[in-house]
Structure 1
Amino acid sequence: MSSHLKSIITTLIFLIVLSCGNKKQETPSTLDEKPNIIFIMSDDHAYQAISAYENHLIQTPNIDRIAKEGILFSNASVTNSICAPSRATILTGKHTHINGKVDNLMPFDTTQVTFPQLFQKVGYQTAMFGKLHFGNNPKGVDDFMILPGQGHYINPDFITQNGDTTITGFATDIITDLTLNWLDQKRNPDKPFLLMYLHKAPHRPWWPTPEKFKEFRGKEFPLPNSLFDDYANRGSAAKTAEMNLLTHMKYSYDTKVWPETIAKMDQVLPEVPDLVNAFNNIIGRMTTEQRAQYKPLIDSISKDFEENWPTMTDEEKMIWKYQRYMQDYLACISSVDDNVGRVLDYLDSSGLTENTLVVYTSDQGFYLGEHGWFDKRFIYEESFRTPLLIRWPNAIEPGITNDEMVQNLDFAQTFLEAAQIEVPEDMQGESLMPLLNSESDEWTRDAVYYHYYEYPAEHAVKRHYGIATKDYKLTHFYYDVDEWELYDRSKDPEEMFNVYHDTAYAEIVVGLKKKLEKLRVHYGDSDELNQHYIDLHNERMAQRH
């Protein structure tokens, strides 16, 4: 049987199962009051692209619903703003320098205990569908279908316990189909469950469905205030990072211009061959029907580019790239929101809502043109801050916004405490349960710790560690520089002015440095450990070349 025929049959089976499923009504009592947990995470979903946070770019009514019926955290952040390390922190409840996954290159320490293992050990059903991003056999998971590595948007491959398979369709829809199929057909209704529902979207290169592509293609979005930031009031790290929309965003791979169009234009530098190949591989994965749907849209973009790019000013080119970026990125978000709505509707129709804790988050924040950037990595606000919305009927008062300093480091402990499972002593976060129960007076954390390691590497964001409080952010860039930056978060929320050398902040710098050093000791980080990871990184980079 051909792989194409297999994919068609697999897709039909999923559709039949979903349409004919027997939905059994349940109440909390059937689960002995043990809550179900659904952990929903998208990849690179900026808080600015969730209307519960900011509504100037897109409306996300289904994701917003989690906040309206639960709690929205306005000060949630990550410990290391890059995909695989963030996921390792979530799974282990430990900083990346402890679990070993400091960057996308370093291997995850497989001796680490993950929270799904602890759920599985006490009798929870556990399942994972979508993007894990590291490892092909997730620990503590009874049933899974995960994308290999970054995965594909169109006709994605999946790793399963029974071998690899390819499913025809769009990743966001398929991951939701798999999730609903498990909920409706495969789980044991007499046992509580932990379900990880993990989207690839809206990770680069931002391929929407043809329908969403067409819907968002003509839309125009407001420009961020700092789109043309010249980094004049900051150190070398911001100036040398390679994620500027104008300079570093690719024409074919990112903005969907045909490589043939670019090749014949003298005014445009040739694309990097690897990324041209990557674009062509995406087109090559499409069925004939899919290609016919995408081609007119790509033709339109390419025609616009060829006719207008040569006469544009640099400012106009920057705006053109920003609009193309936003059209595709937000179209991917729109699909995520639609599919989150499908899952929430299923919980309602099946009677599972009342005893199910639902979390929506991202593995980190993302730049949507702020400071002229795309991507993440920095401790600066847009990549450091992450969306976090939690709903748990009868446990969380609806419509709460909380501004405490919380991190993805805290998720594992929170889920374990909610399920009344003993928390290992070596986990480093803090359970969010007091905040979910409106007992904020029990929350004592006033600062969080951050450390980014992946340098020298893609996007050239320098290594740095730092501390953030509600009022300030202090950062030390190291390795090939020795620079400090301080931002006054209340007076300068866009972080445009480094005030580290301003004498008016001298006492604040002294106090924050002391607090930073205490946090480093508390979490077991040190300069010696930094050097250890630098040496390992350099070894792996040498091996790759």
Structure 2
Amino acid sequence: MNRSIRLFLIANLFTITVAKAQQPNIVWIVSEDNSKHYMKLFDEHGVATPNVESLAKDGIVFDRAFSNAAVCSAARSTLILSTFGPKMATHYHRAEGKVTLVNGQDMFPAFLRKAGYYTANNAKEDYNIKKPEDVWDDSSKKATWTNRKTGQPFFYVYNIETTHEGRMHFTKETMNSTKTITNPATVFVQPNHPQTELFKYSNAYYRDKIVQMDTEVGEVIEKLKKDGLYDNTIIFYYGDHGGVLPQSKGYLNETGLHVPLVVHVPEKYKNLSPLASGTRTNAFVSFVDFGATVLNLAGVEIPKVMDGKPFLGKNITTKTLDKKDETYGYADRFDEKYDMVRSVRKGNLKYIRNFEPFNVNGLMNEYRYKQLAYQEWETLYKQGKLNKDQSKFFEIKAVEEFYDVVIDPFELHNLASLPEHQSNLKKMRKDLNCWMESMPDLSLYPEFYLIENAIQNPIAFGKEHKKEIQKYIDIANLEVLDFDKAAPKIEKFLKSKDQWERYWAMIAATSFGDQAKSLTDAVQSAMDSETENINKLRAVEFLSIVAHQNTTKSLANIVYAAKSDTEALLILNAVVLLKDYYQKQPVAIDVTKMDKKVAANDQVQRRLAYLKK
């Protein structure tokens, strides 16, 4: 090899080595289950978090950062794929069927790893996805950056459980024996909650957990500094979704979606941020964008299969951020509790679409109701001791909700029916429909059907059924019309040969409540000729909620006919709903008449235990 070629190769090797060395390390410090509302850095009612605040002085505060889902596994599945959950069927909490990734889909750390990064996760995963082999170099409670090769850039996730919902499952004995640092007498209790001693204590107790969490954030930062890495590392601190006080985690309120986010960008990487240190921005950023942003910061090409758009890194300018002014949210099944809700926030305005408005927010969920505050809230409602705002959680929802969340941060005053808001409401309704159709949103099919037909290749399933899904969205949107206009169309779809057109026609009919009594004969006729068990359930819901019939025997038979655990879960959700809020009659379920495998499912057993109790 002659001298010139050798020098050329050495020079190129040096260039590649320098380029690798210049790739930033990236760290995510993630606190579980806390929205921005409990931290003074983001909210006047929050507590001081000096370590996060110190990171903010040297970084960027994102005042409008959002999870797209309000519960852990759905939120984390969005994060790890940088793709909307309803498009991938990854949006049901703790999915009974894990989604398979095909056709270029992968968890984004796999792309970092292929680009030479060391990837470590400590330690929570909780994805609704069959995990490929190439994602993490280490994912365990011992995972750290120290095991990488010398000079190798790393991506590291550190998860803090201190603020998780489970920490709020304290007992009355704890309340009587454990004094909080935060003063319960002066702590803020949001106005839709009862202003009781228990709610005050719960708020104080949780804020103490926020302070404890902040200490743990500081420990990670100190370790980076001790290892001489702080000035070479871009650090994200954020909460993994909202929560955990009642009606936050699991709900598309701001308390369920609006998260704290601070990003520290070292001086040597200032070219990767359009914003200076110590800056606050109102640019909207969502979890769907986080993975794409990390890839962009690392100089890794963003796969076209991702929905996310980067908000930091190469080619991101202040104009890019100024254009980011909206976020989308989704909620479906949380453990054994089903609902289907979508949201869009644009600027100060928030639009929420309840596809099954007869599903009451306060419906029993075993894990949620371990929290004493939930238990007391329900008891006070049953005793008639709550005001209008506090009672809303246990009552039928509006099909559409519309709020100015700056004026009304706890979404108490629904503006959807006011004439002066119709223009904005209709625009945001259209935006939401376009977003759902563009994915397309797979929730227009029940979860059990997706498990049987879609999770091996959800993208292909969505493309194949896009026109049908658009049609089902149109039928569901009959709910927003005046009943006189919607009724003849509903009656037509009740006779459709397409089982899912019939399914959504029955849901739409039920959404009108007592207005829809004139459809009773049509629904009864549809039920008498119905061959699909789940459609019989939807007809029974109508006959119970709208026609006020006692349907307990029919409900039991529908439970016995369930062929899968997720089908049974959806049916039992309706059984509990009707028992607790509508016909208020006990439903006797003989477990011996159920499919044995179905009856053995943990979440099915929770519903059965509650019904028996």
Aligned with 1:497 (options 407, 410, 413): 413
Change (3 A) 1:457 1:426: same
- State how far apart, in whole Å, the 2-side matches of 1:228 and 1:490 are: 16
**Is residue 187 from structure 1 mapped to residue 148 from structure 2 by the alignment?**
yes
Change (3 A) 1:137 1:199: farther
Cross-structure match for 1:18: none
Aligned with 1:133 (options 126, 137, 152): 126
**Is residue 540 from structure 1 mapped to residue 565 from structure 2 by the alignment?**
yes
Cross-structure match for 2:213: 336
Cross-structure match for 1:198: 159
Counterpart of 1:500 in 2: which secondary structure? coil
- State how far apart, in whole Å, the 2-side matches of 1:450 and 1:499 are: 19
How many Å apart are 1:453 and its aligned residue?
0.7
> How do 1:463-542 and structure 2 match up within 5 A?
463-479=340-356, 481=358, 483-525=399-441, 529-533=443-447, 535=449, 539-541=564-566, 542=568
Deviation string, structure 1 residues 140-184 (Cα, Å, up to 9, x no partner): 1111215xxxxxxxxxxxxxxxxxxxxxxxxxxxxxxx46xx33x
- State how far apart, in whole Å, the 2-side matches of 1:116 and 1:353 are: 21
Contact 1:359 / 1:389 at 8 angstroms: preserved in 2?
yes
Contact 1:51 / 1:61 at 8 angstroms: preserved in 2?
no
Counterpart of 1:351 in 2: which secondary structure? coil
- State how far apart, in whole Å, the 2-side matches of 1:187 and 1:325 are: 42
> How do 1:4-43 and structure 2 match up within 5 A?
32-43=21-32
Cross-structure match for 2:137: 142
The structure number with the bigger radius of gyration is: 2
**Is residue 77 from structure 1 mapped to residue 66 from structure 2 by the alignment?**
yes
Q: Which amino acid aligns with 1:144?
A: S
How many Å apart are 1:447 and its aligned residue?
2.3
Q: Which amino acid aligns with 1:513?
A: R
Q: Which amino acid aligns with 1:352?
A: L
- State how far apart, in whole Å, the 2-side matches of 1:455 and 1:350 are: 41
- State how far apart, in whole Å, the 2-side matches of 1:506 and 1:30 are: 54
How many Å apart are 1:46 and its aligned residue?
2.2
RMSD over aligned Cα, in angstroms? 3.1
Q: Which amino acid aligns with 1:319?
A: T
- State how far apart, in whole Å, the 2-side matches of 1:197 and 1:436 are: 28
Change (3 A) 1:201 1:442: closer
Q: Which amino acid aligns with 1:410?
A: D
Q: Which amino acid aligns with 2:312?
A: M
Change (3 A) 1:464 1:494: same
For structure 1, which runs of at least 5 residues remain unmatched after alignment?
A: 1-27, 147-177, 230-314
- State how far apart, in whole Å, the 2-side matches of 1:417 and 1:473 are: 29
- State how far apart, in whole Å, the 2-side matches of 1:221 and 1:440 are: 45
Change (3 A) 1:329 1:435: farther
Counterpart of 1:216 in 2: which secondary structure? coil
Change (3 A) 1:525 1:224: same
**Is residue 109 from structure 1 mapped to residue 104 from structure 2 by the alignment?**
no
- State how far apart, in whole Å, the 1-side matches of 2:439 and 2:263 are: 26
Deviation string, structure 1 residues 20-64 (Cα, Å, up to 9, x no partner): xxxxxxxx9695210101111111022122221125442111112
Change (3 A) 1:357 1:141: same
Q: Which amino acid aligns with 1:198?
A: N
Provide TM-score, normalisation by structure 1: 0.65
Greater RCO (Cα-Cα under 8 Å, separation 6 or more): 1
Change (3 A) 1:113 1:477: same
> How do 1:253-268 and structure 2 match up within 5 A?
none
Deviation string, structure 1 residues 208-234 (Cα, Å, up to 9, x no partner): 999xx96736732644464345xxxxx
Change (3 A) 1:436 1:40: farther
- State how far apart, in whole Å, the 2-side matches of 1:363 and 1:205 are: 15
- State how far apart, in whole Å, the 1-side matches of 2:433 and 2:421 are: 18
Provide TM-score, normalisation by structure 2: 0.58
* Percentage of matched positions with identical amino acids: 21
Count of aligned pairs = 387
Counterpart of 1:433 in 2: which secondary structure? coil
How many Å apart are 1:367 and its aligned residue?
5.1
Contact 1:83 / 1:104 at 8 angstroms: preserved in 2?
yes
Contact 1:38 / 1:358 at 8 angstroms: preserved in 2?
yes
Deviation string, structure 1 residues 384-440 (Cα, Å, up to 9, x no partner): 211111111122421111111210110000000100111110100110126996523
